[in-house]
Structure 1
Amino acid sequence: MRNKPPYALASVDHALQLAALLQQEGPLRVTDAADRLGVAVSTAHRLLAMLVYRDFAEQGPDRRYGPGKILRPAEASAAPITLLREACGAPLRWLVEQTRESANVVVPAQAEVRFIATVESPQVLRVGDRVGRSLPAHRASGGKAILAALPPDQVTALYEDSDEVDLRRLHRELGLVRKRGFAINDQLTETGLTAIGVVVRDAVGGPLAGVSIALPTARFDRDLLPAWVHALATAARRIEAAMADRR
């Protein structure tokens, strides 16, 4: 489990965040970058200029900046990321207030899920910001919640050529997720980290995203699981309602 170091350099952190944004979301204007990072436009311009110099970014003819040749293109997500990020802010903050653990929203991208929003726990020992990271969907709690909401044949199509996934075992696990209404990632993606996730559905009932809480495994308590799942389900419904209001 990794937390933000106390000696973190803000300029380095901003540059890394900006590189992740370019890779995951595509072209940005300088003003967009400044807004997303919470910095001055002049600062965003200097950061982008350095990324261009090191081939992490390229400026197009429309003066927007996109990912450079060093950044591996990420799998595209069909989720409306900008709308989701706006819709999930208040529900995530509420979820952290209820659980006192870090809360995340992920979107599907083929066989992965991508973190698009995080609100960190107020506790000293906590799971840090995951925005920009991608994880295998069949291991992450939010990813498993999304997969469980898909028709089984779509799950099979995603993994039938994979040597790393036991499809029979995965289908059994996803059946259990559907029955319970939540998924657990018990140190499958990171030692010392446990996460619980539920699905966020779109207007026609399909899986749009996953919302989860992540906590140090040492703090996981099965007696608290019903309350955590109830809070997650409530947050998911609030995100769905906020998305409906924005359409």
Structure 2
Amino acid sequence: MKNPPSYAIASVDHALRLAVMLQVEGPLGVSDAAERLGVARSTAHRLLSMLAYRDFAVQRSDRRYAVGPVLAVGHSSDRSRTAHLRAAAMPWLAALMEEVQESANVQVLTGEHCRFVGAVECRQALRVGDREGMAFPAHKVSGGKVLLAELSTAELSALYSAERFADRPEELPNVASLRQELSWVRRRGYAINIEGAEKGVVGIGRPLRLGAERAEAAVCVSLPTVRFDDERVRVILGALTRAAVGIEADFVAQRPGGLSAPADA
């Protein structure tokens, strides 16, 4: 039998209970959550809003909350591979950030979402913040576009079928336009996303193959739109290529605790 810790924090416990309810029982409204937890409706609303902010929940068109992309990808059968990817990537993300003076991250595809599994935030006053652990619609971020471009026509059709989005049709992208954009990504080997997920933010990403023919992740740089121009793209793409080579080599080397660090890190 589990005993609650002596330092239990009620708000944390309430948030975790809500997350479990969403994952096990399905959507619920603010009033339902308040009743289940025995708290005020305003408290339940704040808890659900925070879960939505961190992608543990999403608010549907009927204003009820449903399980979010973080919980939806929480059953990955290869968590150790993701953990190893993060360990291999972090030194190179730090070096990438120093080289371009912009925030850097690694993303993986989980269904129709892209999850940030490692990130290093730059130190500029105006910067893109740390998104580690968060998930965004894959077609709205650079890493997601890179990874969607690796899918076959049949896989992409299945991923963005009307049936999968039957209860949330407003989230289904224009598949014909998406195919055209992904064709551009395949030809060039990188993706650029301008304010797709967040206003004022640009993402540039390229694939990580990790010893496999198909890319399993993407390494990306995020920057404010005010610092985005053709010259910055050229510089960032060169830095991304160097980081990708290093991450891929360290991942494949499988030397836990002894991954080689970038020379200038």
- TM-score relative to the length of structure 1: 0.72
Higher alpha-carbon deviation: 203-212 or 132-141: 203-212
| 1:182 aligned onto 2:190 | yes
**Is the 1:105–1:115 Cα contact (8 Å) retained in structure 2?**
yes
Counterpart position of 1:134: 135
1:113 is aligned to: 114
Match of 1:63 in 2: none
Q: Which has more radius of gyration?
A: 2
What's the CA shift for 1:152?
2.4
Q: 1:125 to 1:78 in 2, by over 3 A?
A: farther
Count residues with an aligned counterpart: 195
Structure 1 residue 145: deviation in Å? 0.5
Change (3 A) 1:222 1:88: same
Q: Which amino acid aligns with 1:216?
A: P
Cα distance, 1:157 vs. partner? Answer: 1.3
The residue aligned with 1:231 is 239
Instruction: Determine if the alignment matches structure 1 residue 53 to structure 2 residue 13.
Output: yes
The gaps in structure 1 that reach 5 residues or longer are 1-44, 59-66
Correspondence list, 1:48-87, <5 A:
50=10, 53-56=13-16, 68-69=20-21, 72=67, 73-75=71-73, 76-77=75-76, 80-87=81-88
Deviations 1:143-199 (A, max 9, x none): 001111222221121012244222221111101001111111100111111110111
1:152 aligns with 2:104: no
Give identity over the alignment, percent. 36
Q: 1:47/1:111 Cα in 2 relative to 1: closer, same or farther (>3 Å)?
A: farther
| Equivalent position of 2:228 in the other structure | 220
Specify every segment of 5 or more residues in structure 2 that has no aligned partner in the other structure, as ranges.
23-55, 57-66, 256-265
CA distance in 2, matches of 1:205, 1:46: 50
User: Within 5 Å, which residues of 2 pair with 1:4-15?
Assistant: none
Deviations 1:194-242 (A, max 9, x none): 1101111132211211111001101111122122111112211211111
What is the Cα deviation at residue 85 of structure 1? 1.0
User: Using a 3 Å threshold, how does the CA distance of structure 1 residues 191 and 48 change in structure 2: closer, same or farther?
Assistant: farther
* 167-176 or 67-76: bigger deviation: 67-76
Considering only aligned residues, what root-mean-square deviation do their CA atoms show, in Å? Answer: 2.3
